[in-house]
Every structure is written in C-alpha cells, then in structure tokens.
Amino acid sequence: MGRVSDDHRRRVPRTDTVLADARLEPALATLGRARVKEVVVAAQGRARAGEIAPEAVADEVVASLPRTAASMRPVLNATGVLLHTNLGRAPLSAAARDAIDAAAGTTDVELDLATGGRGRRGAGALAALAATVPDAGGVHVVNNGAAALILAATALAAGGREIVIARGEMVEIGDGFRLPDLLESTGARLREVGTTNRVRVDDYADAVGPRTGMILKVHPSNFVVTGFTSSVPASELTGLGVPVVADIGSGLLAPHPLLPDEPDAATELRGGVPLVTASGDKLLGGPQAGLLLGDADLVHRLRRHPLARALRVDKLTLAALEATLRGPEPPVRAMLAADVDALRSRAGEVAAAIGEPAAAIDCAAQVGGGGAPGVELPSAGVALPAACAAALRAGADPVVARVEQGRCVLDLRSVPASEDGRLVVAVRAALAARA
C-alpha cells in the first residue's frame, strides 16, 4: 500500500479503542493484556510511519497476534535429521504431552497421598525407568546428559582426583561445548591415555593409581574415526579397581537392529559397567533429562550428593519421562522404523498435491542429536528450488528443510504422516509468497 497523506497520524486509533475490538477478546484471555498491547503499539507505529493505513491497525493486530504467550514457535522438521538439536531434539509423544498438561497444575510430585507425608520425588518416573532398564540396580534422573556427567565427576573425582580418559574421547560437541572443560570445572584432573586413534587396556591400567577417581568412557557420538584405530569397551575396564562410567551419548537403552554400532545401556550394564549416563531427549524419545543407571550403592551415593539438588528435574519433565517410558512408541522410534516404500508413496502424494515445481525424490536421513554418526537412513522426500528454504522458514507455519545439491529438500522421514496436509499448505503458501 502506498503512503497515506501527511495527516494520517491523527487518524491512528487510540490503544484502548483497538483493545476494545471484539476480535481481540480470545487473545486477551490467552495471551494477556500486556502481550496484546505490545502488538497494538507495534501496529500503531507502522501506521504512524505510513506503512499501513490508520484504519488497518486493528486488522494488522489480529493478523500479527502470536498463537501463544511464549516466543517459541512450532515448526515442521523436514530436515531428515530425526533428533535436530536446534529444533528441540525428540518430539514428544501425545501421551507425554498429555502428562505435561496434567502435571502443570498442583500434583503429588513429592507427596504420598496414602499417608499424607512426604513421598519420593518423581517415584513414578523412577519406577518406570527401573522397569525399562532392569539390569540397573539403581536409577536417577537429572536435568540433562551433561549434568549426569558432572554429578558423577564431582562425586567421584573432585578435589584433584583423576579421571582417566582416552585421548580420542576428549570431544567437543555443539556450540563449542568441550567435555574436558566440563570435567575440569569439578576440580578433577584429567589423565589422558592412548593416542588420538588408538588406545589399549594396558594404557588405562598404567594410568590407574592412588589418585584415580574414575575411568570415563565417552562414545564419540557426533563423529567417526576410521582406518588404523582401536578402542577398549567399557566392560573390559571394570577389573582395574576403580569405578567405570560409560557415557553412551544417544540414550539408547537397549540394542536396536538398525544401529548395531550404537552403544546401549543394557549391554553396558550386563558387561559389568557400574554406571551408565545417557540423555532422555535423544533415542529414548522423551524430554531433556540426564539418566544415571547402574550399581545401586553408587547411584544412591550420587542421588544423595549435595550437587544433585541443583541438578534435579521439575515435575513436567518427570511426567513426560514416565509417559514416554510407559506409554506408546514415541515419534522418534516411529521415524527410525519408517518403511522406505511408504515414504516414497507419501513423497509422490505430497509432490502431486503441491504441484509444480515440486518433485518426489529419494534421499538419505540421519539420526542426529549425537547419535549413530555416519549412519544414513534411506528416505524419500520432495525437492523444490533452493530459494524456497528461506520462504518456508518465514511462513506463518514455519517449515525447516535442508539445502543440498542446489535444491531444497523436504525429507519425509522426520515428518509424521499425519502432518503431510499441513506440510502441503505451508509449501503452497511459501511458493505463493515467492511468486
């Protein structure tokens, strides 16, 4: 719309007049007056700048209102990365979402309703975790995987004691996070063994001494070292006289046929490893959480450590975790097990519904989130011009795709089949915006 006349600012409606518009009543109830007023003020500013007509302020406010009071927006993950860290990793199951909603009010998170006395915090979630990993004598939950490691390191190696770790496992993950920095922040000292590509049992044995607090085995979860390499399974280190902690990375609790090289908690525990740490929001498919699984006395010692209080999870996490463990298969497991022929059929239908310039293609997905590095999952999707990626992100219902080989790829392995219609609508809108 062209600029309006110089006296347009006098016609900009007052804030209370706009807020009285009947169309804003639902938003006032769900977003709150302050948040709606921010949108009104922004629209008034656009009108004063001549970007919209004063008479269009109320319409602009209605069109600009966010769906919720929070700034985070739901997006469709069409990247083919099943556990995309920037998109919140594992999407929760419907059961977990319902559990969060139920727990959002007043709950018995730390109350025994039968006696009226204090109960064990998150007893239901801990019982569900113990039942899922029966090889663990004890279980505990903290707020993320890094917290699980720092609790173990603080309890076992603080005060200058040593953590023995292979040089090739001194990893850095996303956003510049370096494992050595985390471990040394506890006051522990790192004793590196082996070389970047090879380490032997004797290297660990020679390093263990009176100052050793623990041996740490870290799965290199976001890279692969190939060629002239060797490593030592955590189970082969359990006879060296000090606690062994295995950080398995992706949170796989039991072996999975599609991921034979991915370490899992059950196998490690059966091999005699006293403590396994894992994440809850990766292949488990639950909320962000750090899982500590292992020897009952050791886990109890960690649970009673003063630092555990600072790392504990809230009631919403406990509810979502229990529902994930007890409820139906979470979305990430369904994505992992998706049938390629079914994905190809969906790709053809989605491409046909979008029309030109969409084309159904074969592609490859990946686990992501620090899991199964180097493993490609056969997939299918829809190809669009590369420039569509930005338009899809900027849409009213954002879609995050990937750009490769000069095209925008919508990988359907990371998109639930129930969302295909939503994806089609979003793509059509993005194409129309570019026209």
CATH number where 136 lies: 3.40.640.10
Closest C-alpha among 61, 31, 69, 17 to residue 43: 61
Closest C-alpha among 406, 369, 278, 370 to residue 77: 369
Print the SS3 string covering 272-327: CCCEEEEECCCCCCCCCCEEEEECHHHHHHHHCCHHHHHCCCCHHHHHHHHHHHHC
Cα–Cα distance measured from residue 349 to residue 420, given in angstroms and rounded to the nearest whole number: 9
Which residue, of 281, 307, 328, is where some domain finishes? 328
Question: Strands, DSSP E only, in 374-434?
Answer: 377-385, 399-400, 402-404, 407-411
Asked if 239 and 313 sit in the same domain, the reply is yes
356 Cβ neighbours under 8 A, 6+ residues apart: none
Per-residue confidence (pLDDT) for residue 277, from 0 to 100: 97
Cα–Cα distance measured from residue 277 to residue 291, given in angstroms and rounded to the nearest whole number: 5
Instruction: Indicate the number of domains in the chain.
Output: 3
Indicate whether 360 belongs to any domain: yes
Indicate whether 143 belongs to any domain: yes
Asked if 55 and 81 sit in the same domain, the reply is no
Contact by Cβ (8 Å): 277, 292: yes
Residue 159 dihedral angles phi and psi, to the nearest 5°: 75, 30
Asked if 55 and 154 sit in the same domain, the reply is no
Per-residue confidence (pLDDT) for residue 232, from 0 to 100: 93
Indicate whether 171 belongs to any domain: yes
Which residue, of 328, 358, 390, is where some domain finishes? 328
Asked if 312 and 352 sit in the same domain, the reply is no
Per-residue confidence (pLDDT) for residue 221, from 0 to 100: 62
Supply 420's token pair: 């295909």
Domain hosting 340: range is: 76-87+334-434
Asked if 189 and 310 sit in the same domain, the reply is yes
Asked if 315 and 356 sit in the same domain, the reply is no
Asked if 356 and 317 sit in the same domain, the reply is no
Q: Mean pLDDT by 10-residue block, N- to C-terminus, for the chain (435 residues)?
A: 60 94 94 95 94 94 89 94 95 98 95 93 96 98 95 95 93 77 93 93 96 93 70 94 93 91 94 97 96 98 96 97 97 96 98 97 92 88 96 94 96 97 96 84
Buried b / exposed e across 257-269, counting CB within 10 Å, b at 16+? eebeebbbbbbbb
Indicate whether 97 belongs to any domain: no
Indicate whether 99 belongs to any domain: no
Indicate whether 420 belongs to any domain: yes
Per-residue confidence (pLDDT) for residue 124, from 0 to 100: 96
Supply 201's token pair: 């049992």
Which residue, of 299, 328, 357, is where some domain finishes? 328
Supply 51's token pair: 């970007």
Asked if 350 and 377 sit in the same domain, the reply is yes
Supply 239's token pair: 């006879």
Per-residue confidence (pLDDT) for residue 70, from 0 to 100: 84
Indicate whether 101 belongs to any domain: no
Asked if 292 and 360 sit in the same domain, the reply is no
Taking the mean position of all CA atoms in its chain, how far away is CA 390?
23
Closest C-alpha among 313, 306, 271 to residue 292: 313
∠ CA 355-406-379, nearest 5°, is 65
How far are the Cα atoms of 71, 221, 355, 429 from residue 397, in angstroms, in the given order?
14, 32, 19, 9
pTM reported for the whole predicted model: 0.89
Per-residue confidence (pLDDT) for residue 175, from 0 to 100: 67
Asked if 198 and 273 sit in the same domain, the reply is yes
Asked if 344 and 296 sit in the same domain, the reply is no
Cis amide linkage into residue 357, ω under 30° from 0: yes
Asked if 233 and 151 sit in the same domain, the reply is yes
Indicate whether 186 belongs to any domain: yes
CATH number where 343 lies: 3.90.1150.180
Q: Say how many C-beta atoms besides its own lie within 10 A of residue 131's C-beta.
A: 11
Q: Which amino acid is at 173?
A: I
